[in-house]
Amino acid sequence: MAVFEVCDVYREPNVTNFVASLVIAVGIVISYVPQYVKIVQTRTSVGLSPTFLFLISVAGFSAMSNLVLLSSLSLPCCSELTGFECVNSQVSLIQVGLQAISTLFIPLLCVIYTNTPDNTEYEQVVEAWRRILLYIATVTILVIVACFTFSAAHVLLFAQILGVLSTVITFIQYIPQLVETYHLKHSGALSIAMMLIQTPGGFLWTTTLIMKPGSNWSSWLPYLAAASLQGVLLMMCIYYDYYLTPKQALLDQQNSQNYV
The pLDDT confidence band at residue 7, using thresholds 50, 70 and 90, is confident
Model pTM score: 0.73
DSSP 81: S
The answer on pLDDT for 3 being more than 60 is no
What pLDDT score was predicted for residue 252? 55
DSSP 10: G
The answer on pLDDT for 231 being more than 90 is yes
Rounded distance, CA 104 to CA 181, Å?
21
Rounded distance, CA 1 to CA 82, Å?
18
Rounded distance, CA 227 to CA 235, Å?
12
Over the stretch 200-212, which tens digit does the pLDDT of each residue have?
Answer: 988 988 888 887 7
| Average pLDDT along the chain | 83
Higher-confidence position of 130 and 214 = 130
The answer on pLDDT for 259 being more than 70 is no
CA dist list (Å): 56 to 115, 132, 246: 23, 10, 31
10-36 mean pLDDT: 87
The answer on pLDDT for 1 being more than 50 is no
Higher-confidence position of 212 and 199 = 199
What pLDDT score was predicted for residue 235? 92
51-58 mean pLDDT: 86
Closest CA to 142 of 62, 73, 220, 221: 62
Helix axis angle for 120-149 and 152-184, nearest 10°, is 170
**Which of 113-117, 157-161, 172-176 has the least mean pLDDT?**
113-117
Rounded distance, CA 143 to CA 89, Å?
20
What pLDDT score was predicted for residue 233? 92
3-class DSSP string for 238-253 = HHHHHHHHHHHHHHHH
CB atoms within 10 A of CB 95: 24
DSSP 1: -
The answer on pLDDT for 168 being more than 60 is yes
* All structural domains of the chain with their residue ranges: 14-249
Closest CA to 217 of 154, 172, 167: 167
